[in-house]
């Protein structure tokens, strides 16, 4: 009889998360271990179902980009940058919080944590 080893899913490390975030152009600063207070949606309501009266805001009509547009990445980034500045996403150090799933890819549940990040400088 052959026994297969069982490896329980473990959380990803900060270093692994930092590597993944770097691919997205973000610099990992730290994992937040204290409670975070934001005007988040009600527990039974996801961000996608929020209305304007709940604090939702949308892209301007001229920022909506066709998925086949060859300039899509640049246009999406420009719209994100405008909204990030207009709605004060950044703190005084130009950093912001991002929700990251730390769970192992094989895990059944999610393990979200807040991390502080900043946009990486492009040289």
State the SS3 of 40-101. CCCCCCCHHHCCHHHCCCCCCHHHCCCCCCCCHHHHHHHHHHHHHHHCCCCCCCCEEEEEEE
Exposure b/e, 33-54, CB count within 10 A at least 16 = b: eeeeeeeebeeeeeeeeeeeee
Q: What is the pLDDT of residues 23-59, one digit of tens each?
A: 988 999 999 988 887 666 666 666 667 777 777 777 8
Is the pLDDT confidence value at 71 over 60? yes
pLDDT at position 1 is 47
Of 107, 88, 110, which Cα lies nearest the Cα of 99? 110
Q: What is the pLDDT of residues 3-25, one digit of tens each?
A: 555 555 557 889 999 999 999 88
Between 89 and 123, the more confident residue is: 89
């Amino acid at each position: 009889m052959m026994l297969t080893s069982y490896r329980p899913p473990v959380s990803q490390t900060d270093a692994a998360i930092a590597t993944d975030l770097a691919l997205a152009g973000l610099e990992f600063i730290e994992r937040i271990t204290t409670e975070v207070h934001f005007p988040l949606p009600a527990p039974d309501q996801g961000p996608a179902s929020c209305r304007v009266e709940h604090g939702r805001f949308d892209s301007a009509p001229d920022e909506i980009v066709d998925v086949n547009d060859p300039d899509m990445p640049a246009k999406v980034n420009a719209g994100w940058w405008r909204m990030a500045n207009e709605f004060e996403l950044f703190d005084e150090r130009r950093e912001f919080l991002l929700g990251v799933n730390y769970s192992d890819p094989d895990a059944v549940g999610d393990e979200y944590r807040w991390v502080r990040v900043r946009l990486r400088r492009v040289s």
